[in-house]
Amino acid sequence: MFDLSVWHLLAIGLTFLLAGFVKGVTGMGLPTVAMGVLGAIMSPVAAAALLIIPSFVTNVWQLVCGPSFAALVRRLWLMMLGIVLGTLAGSSILMSGQTQWTTAGLGAILMVYAGFTLVARQISVPASFETWLSPLVGLTTGVITGGTGVFVIPAVPYLQALRLSKDDLVQGLGFSFTVSTMALAAGLAWRGAFHLDGLALSSLAIAPALLGMWLGQVVRLKVSPERFRRWFLACLLLLGAELILKSIHSA
């Protein structure tokens, strides 16, 4: 699956350093940044297989560092179940290689959501809606994850609409992304997209991803909640634009 030069290996290392930094600051973005950049030098399936291990490791780190894991499991388990089922079903889209339209749609949704939230009142989900809305959001997120290799929509805006604290939001994102990563790995393995050389290279990407994530977390600890929210949404705007540009170039 991989036949890479030294320059490709350097590009992969720098990509995961940047992706880890974005994730450390905002609690998200590693697969989106990695898929967007790596898509320029390899196929989407190869890029998705490459991000599995660093994504899993950084997500578990993000998950265990938070304060409220047990409470989040009780609150979000239906959403996680939907993510697993949707990702397994949607992984056939990624394997088909025809992901430019779903990627462009994902980018557009990100930009619309982030732009609207930056200028409008914060969306809030009533607690009475969570029982039926959580599995629906999880299933939709899973299908999009299976089709694009990116875990953010609609899970990220939904978790933000639950009005979690800054630390709980970051841990909730880590929970969602950990489950999404494992489900994507299972979907790719089920369809024969995992190879030993890809797993070895994916393991080598852990170090730059963790370094970038640590640097991003240092920055996040110095940021006020309101500034954190603005950075979070600005990051969504940039990631959405990057996805649209990627889909245009691959069309």
With contact defined as beta carbons under 8 Å apart, do 66 and 166 qualify?
Answer: no
pTM of the model: 0.79
- Nearest partner of 32 among 152, 117, 146, judged by Cα: 152
Q: What is the pLDDT of residues 126-149, one digit of tens each?
A: 888 999 999 999 999 999 888 878
The CA-to-CA distance between both ends of the chain, in Å, stands at 22
Q: What is the pLDDT of residues 195-241, one digit of tens each?
A: 666 677 788 889 999 999 899 888 878 877 577 777 778 877 887 88
Report, as an integer, the average pLDDT of 68-95: 90
Token pair, residue 152, equals 């953010």
What's the pLDDT score for residue 151? 82
Please state, for a pLDDT cut of 90, what percent of the chain lies above it: 21
Report, as an integer, the average pLDDT of 10-25: 88
